[in-house]
A and B are shown apart, each in its own frame.
Chain A
């Protein structure tokens, strides 16, 4: 049963620290998405890749966020430095027939 995996599932950190979230897309999917979910904003697209190339990262605060796909089996989302307003659930999704979502990383920045 192919699934998108994300690590860590939960992260608590202090303001100013670097946070790295990882995603393993479903093998064979060439499109990877990063979404953020908060109560206030709902689900927002941060960035997405096709064939490892970034296609759209307009939803991402560029001064502190960066997204990369070092290879086809790994996507990363980094926040440096983190701020309390970054507290959210971050979802990775990979695209085949539909977008399949990972379980999310619940980030709390104190």
Chain B
């Protein structure tokens, strides 16, 4: 079974609008961390936001927020006020074994990504 599922191969949003990128995960480990990365056309992987499995609050980083619904095992990324520069591939990832953001335990499991296009 896939550990990370991103069901939207592509999403389109108009500049200044908000957009939600879906991510569901599968794990039986109570301790885990969820990540979102952005990959622009240049190819680099840029860390955006982190959510630990025990965090009570949804994570926020500037215009990025993570809508964490633990019971549904979903970790959707919300980008508010989209900008043209947000056009990129977005990957959801999970690390099992620790909910500590600072932990380097374990590998990351990545989803297949969602290609976001922001139009003027």
Contact = CB atoms under 8 A, between A and B. Distances in A.
Interface of A: 29-31, 33, 42-43, 45, 48, 50, 56, 89, 91, 93, 95-101, 103-104, 106
Interface stretch (B11-19, B65-73, B107-115): B107-115
A98, A99, A104: residue with the most chain B Cβ atoms closer than 10 Å: A98
Nearest to B111: A42
A97 B103 CA distance: 7
A96 B45 CA distance: 15
Prevailing SS type, chain A contact patch: strand
B54 interface: no
Interface of B is mostly: loop
Q: Which 10 A-B pairs have the closest CB atoms?
A: A101-B45, A95-B104, A31-B104, A43-B110, A98-B47, A45-B107, A42-B112, A97-B102, A104-B43, A103-B44
29 contacts: A30-B104, A31-B104, A33-B107, A42-B110, A42-B111, A42-B112, A43-B91, A43-B110, A45-B107, A45-B108, A45-B109, A48-B107, A56-B107, A89-B43, A91-B45, A96-B102, A98-B35, A98-B47, A98-B50, A99-B35, A99-B108, A100-B47, A101-B37, A101-B44, A101-B46, A103-B42, A103-B43, A103-B44, A104-B44
